[in-house]
Structure 1
């Protein structure tokens, strides 16, 4: 149908008929939907040259097109054109441009545009406010988002459950527990159109789970059951992760069973979550309980976990079986799966197997950028690894340094290990775990004064330490 619209429009031009304002705007929209950016701009310029004055709809089309492409220069062009033509933006145009600013990654300009809109007397609607909250959340501007919420309440601006849920999701991402509780309480006290739904409860489970507030998370889950709020796989995953970290294994099994009975379909993320819980288990009975849950969702993964504990299984088989596991799951969970499996091996004192899994992960491209070398510095980037995987990678790295020393090859002056500095309020901090591990080993790495979450050692310090610890650093080739 879009192609037909373009065909009839081109016929108009050939017959000498001049399109009116409505026709120009409609065809601009058609071209934009077809992704024909050059045709849109050409038609716009042709129309302007013929005396056509674009209306707000036309500018909304242009803004949306540039926004989809994340083209900030294009968005700025729209704003300049509107001023030159003397067209005052209406609510639809402002909403479109705000969404475009978000896609272009310009939170500061989005805020300025919003203030311009309010200053011009245009009252924002739910769509406006939701778009702005999403922009602030993505930029991690929690203070601005919560300040906007206060303005909504004081000005009586319209709010719906989508807007509330967007705010709750942002609080979950930033670890703003107190603020989320206030929002959730507001939703409960509002009219029926803003009452908490499944996603509202999921956001609260995420917040409590991330903060280790086990009792609050369990209470929220029980409330969902009591009020018959539909459970979803994301909420189930958040709660199980929380209970697993607290080593409440029986509660994990109960929550998983209830969720399955309520119709929750386990996905790869939930399977990864259960896999991580295995690494928290203290004995074989607990391991069996969690693997029993996982068996219902991914029996092949359970078989592989059991295979890791068999002594007579060689690397080639591990490599092949692991490849099949990875091919069967979504791309985004492959590295977390590998991290969890390494953690499980270390928990069960299968250190050689942990090193084999790390090797497989590197071979299959799960850890790009793990190592980097220059003549002056060797770097180990651990930011995408779990605690157990990071410890394993560090041991491998030191083993490699030992071999270079044995071959009497040159070493750089500086060695650095980067664990990163978490931005989430509730972040466990891989850097803290790595710091403890380095101290336990007596390794001469000290926190970097220039970069948070990084540890550095000089060549002289490290070579002396490696020589005295060569036996403990022996790892599989």
Structure 2
């Protein structure tokens, strides 16, 4: 049975078990544990639960693991506590199961429960348990506790492996603890701790997220100089392209891309997207198109994020460049190109726009739906499409729940949240908001004392530059909103000023034009 379990031959194992029962050979807990393990390895968790007899110290860990795989946390805790009440002393394997289960659920109280139980029973965690606990700390968002746990592990004489270090680097990166992450990297090199592709790339990705250009360059060169072990792969190059792209260094980003191709390392869709985004920002559209075509020749398959990136290029590029960008988008998503043509046609009815946009968004992954709408609004405005189109897209985006919390009203304050919008979408939303305010003023509605607009500080990748651009737009309109120094990326105005401004614009059709 043990040999068959390693080969995942659950049907033969079950057949042997039935043969034993037919021959009146009693199945003890060791046999049942073997059957449970086999079913578990074959992914037949439901059958594994019913496979055992009264668990003992042999079968408890296997049964706990099965319940945990099924996500039955209450059953796991109940079984564990019944076993403890019966005198069972769990081992490190059982605690690894508990730690992993609570970690995947991000259950901080559960993680603390595991730590208390281990310390109360004086069970020393092994490396597997520590790794499970560290991953759990990451999901629970507890970087300080993770650091303490890691130091405890090292003091106990256990050497971390690649999984340990990767988990800790991810935790530090997510918490933006760059200093701790870089100190850890120094210890890795000093103590010759193991480093693999995943660990190096995790460090590079963290540097990209935090804008640590010099540190990333040092890491990247360290990878290239290693005689053995991990050398830069396409994810390593992608991280470097992202770093240079985000830092406004298109030449260095292009050099990384060319070096990757020269070294016969195939680009991935993320490296292509990052580089096109970087080149588009500095209006190097021809280079962006060249990168797209080279990536396709190398086997890159465009995804929704790359399509969103191309949409943003369509919104930004000059008229003479539009055809070659649309030809790229045609390769990636022909339906988007047809929809752009629909939007530019005066004869297209609103219900046609609504039906086609709904179909496009349903086909797209959730994280790109709002960026798609933002870019489509920008295209409508920048390409001189019929004036109502941008407002139609914004209305439909609101209707489909892509801009939650945009409008907030209280007795003291009305606010407009533009933080997840592009520049064009923000201007369109502001225009709609002012129209609503004008209607309230005309109808003598009771208005609050304060009006507030949030643009954020420009760190979100879809709203970079929004505060500056929106401030310029307010100035152009002579709107009474001023920067709120106590809240970054916010603009405030008082009731009397807003009413006076709105009333002075009554009858002017061009004042709020975006």
- Shorter-chain TM band: over 0.9
- The 5-angstrom pairing of residues 319-338 of structure 1 reads 319-338=354-373
Correspondence 1:357 to 2:393: yes
Correspondence 1:397 to 2:433: yes
Q: In the alignment, which residue of structure 1 is the partner of 2:19?
A: none
In the TM superposition, residue 273 of structure 1 has moved relative to its aligned partner by 0.6
Whole-angstrom CA distance in 1 between matches of 2:468 and 2:202: 32
In the TM superposition, residue 226 of structure 1 has moved relative to its aligned partner by 0.6
- With 27-36 and 286-295 compared, the bigger mean Cα shift is at 27-36
Q: Is the 8 A contact 1:399 1:474 kept in 2?
A: no
Which one of the candidate residues 35, 41, 49 is aligned to 1:6?
A: 49
Task: List per-residue Cα deviations over 1:168-221 (Å, max 9, x = no partner).
Answer: 111112222221111111111113421011111111111111222100111111
Task: List per-residue Cα deviations over 1:2-55 (Å, max 9, x = no partner).
Answer: 44543343x245xxxxx23x4322222222223232332222223222332221
Q: Is the 8 A contact 1:383 1:420 kept in 2?
A: yes
- With 223-232 and 315-324 compared, the bigger mean Cα shift is at 315-324
**TM-score of the pair, normalised by structure 1:** 0.93
In the TM superposition, residue 160 of structure 1 has moved relative to its aligned partner by 1.1
Correspondence 1:244 to 2:271: no
Q: CA RMSD in A?
A: 2.0
Whole-angstrom CA distance in 1 between matches of 2:463 and 2:366: 24
Which one of the candidate residues 30, 33, 53 is aligned to 2:69?
A: 33
Whole-angstrom CA distance in 2 between matches of 1:206 and 1:125: 28
Q: In the alignment, which residue of structure 2 is the partner of 1:59?
A: 95
1:263–1:374 CA distance, 2 compared to 1 (3 A): same
Unaligned runs of 5+ in 1: 14-18
Whole-angstrom CA distance in 1 between matches of 2:243 and 2:420: 22
- The 5-angstrom pairing of residues 11-410 of structure 1 reads 11-12=53-54, 19-20=56-57, 22-283=58-319, 285-350=320-385, 351-410=387-446
Task: List per-residue Cα deviations over 1:37-74 (Å, max 9, x = no partner).
Answer: 23322222232223322211111111111112211111
Q: Is the 8 A contact 1:399 1:473 kept in 2?
A: no
Whole-angstrom CA distance in 2 between matches of 1:259 and 1:98: 37
1:424–1:292 CA distance, 2 compared to 1 (3 A): closer
Task: List per-residue Cα deviations over 1:421-456 (Å, max 9, x = no partner).
Answer: 245799833222222221222211111132111111
In the TM superposition, residue 300 of structure 1 has moved relative to its aligned partner by 1.7
Q: Is the 8 A contact 1:444 1:462 kept in 2?
A: yes
Which one of the candidate residues 458, 465, 489 is aligned to 1:429?
A: 465
1:256–1:423 CA distance, 2 compared to 1 (3 A): closer
1:217–1:146 CA distance, 2 compared to 1 (3 A): same
Q: Is the 8 A contact 1:413 1:458 kept in 2?
A: yes
Whole-angstrom CA distance in 2 between matches of 1:338 and 1:3: 44
Length, aligned pairs only: 468
Whole-angstrom CA distance in 2 between matches of 1:245 and 1:276: 9
**TM-score of the pair, normalised by structure 2:** 0.87
Whole-angstrom CA distance in 2 between matches of 1:277 and 1:329: 18
- With 349-358 and 186-195 compared, the bigger mean Cα shift is at 349-358
Q: Is the 8 A contact 1:175 1:424 kept in 2?
A: no
Unaligned runs of 5+ in 2: 1-38, 40-44
Whole-angstrom CA distance in 2 between matches of 1:69 and 1:286: 49
Q: Is the 8 A contact 2:419 2:463 kept in 1?
A: no
- With 422-431 and 371-380 compared, the bigger mean Cα shift is at 422-431
Higher RCO (CA 8 Å, separation ≥ 6 residues)? 1
In the TM superposition, residue 322 of structure 1 has moved relative to its aligned partner by 2.1
In the TM superposition, residue 111 of structure 1 has moved relative to its aligned partner by 1.3
